[in-house]
Amino acid sequence: MFDELDFACDGCGCRWRLVPAMVEQVACRHNGMFGCPCGYMNDLSAKIEEARIPPEPAPTRADIDIDDLFSYHRLTPAQLDRFDYIRGPIKVAAAAIMANCPGGADRTTAIRKLRECLMTANASIALDRK
């Protein structure tokens, strides 16, 4: 995972801001080399290493805050908006399953898993990375 990368071309001095997907592409496919339209090949390897965000370590049992995990979390308006962004597409998927899958145990399970998906995604927003 990368953060945005701001740098100036060593050839012409023009300013660049690479978004994370572009940083990843430069890092993986071009060995850290970025060709400016001026023709200069900038070596960004060191800058890319600085911009790299280390993966978060998986929480260990000791890190899990049980009180927080089972507490009510009052949601901010921004969190409620994020709930809505996720709920809409999942409802569309549920409607598609209801309209196209024959009734039965598998369809029931598919709908149940969509509900679990929505609830787990909402929990990730409410708990905010805990």
**Which is nearer to Zn ion, 9 or 26 (by Cβ)?**
9
**Which is nearer to Zn ion, 26 or 118 (by Cβ)?**
26
Q: Where do contacts with Zn ion occur on this chain (CB under 5 A)?
A: 9, 11-12, 36, 38, 40
Taking the complex as a whole, the smallest distance from the CB of residue 33 to Zn ion amounts, in Å, to 13
Taking the complex as a whole, the smallest distance from the CB of residue 43 to Zn ion amounts, in Å, to 13
CB 19 within 8 A of CB 46: no
d(CA 125, CA 116): 14
User: Would you tell me the crossing angle of helices 105-127 and 77-100 to the nearest 10 degrees?
Assistant: 170
d(CA 57, CA 63): 11
**Phi/psi of residue 12, each to 5°?**
-120, -10
**Which is nearer to Zn ion, 8 or 80 (by Cβ)?**
8
Taking the complex as a whole, the smallest distance from the CB of residue 50 to Zn ion amounts, in Å, to 20
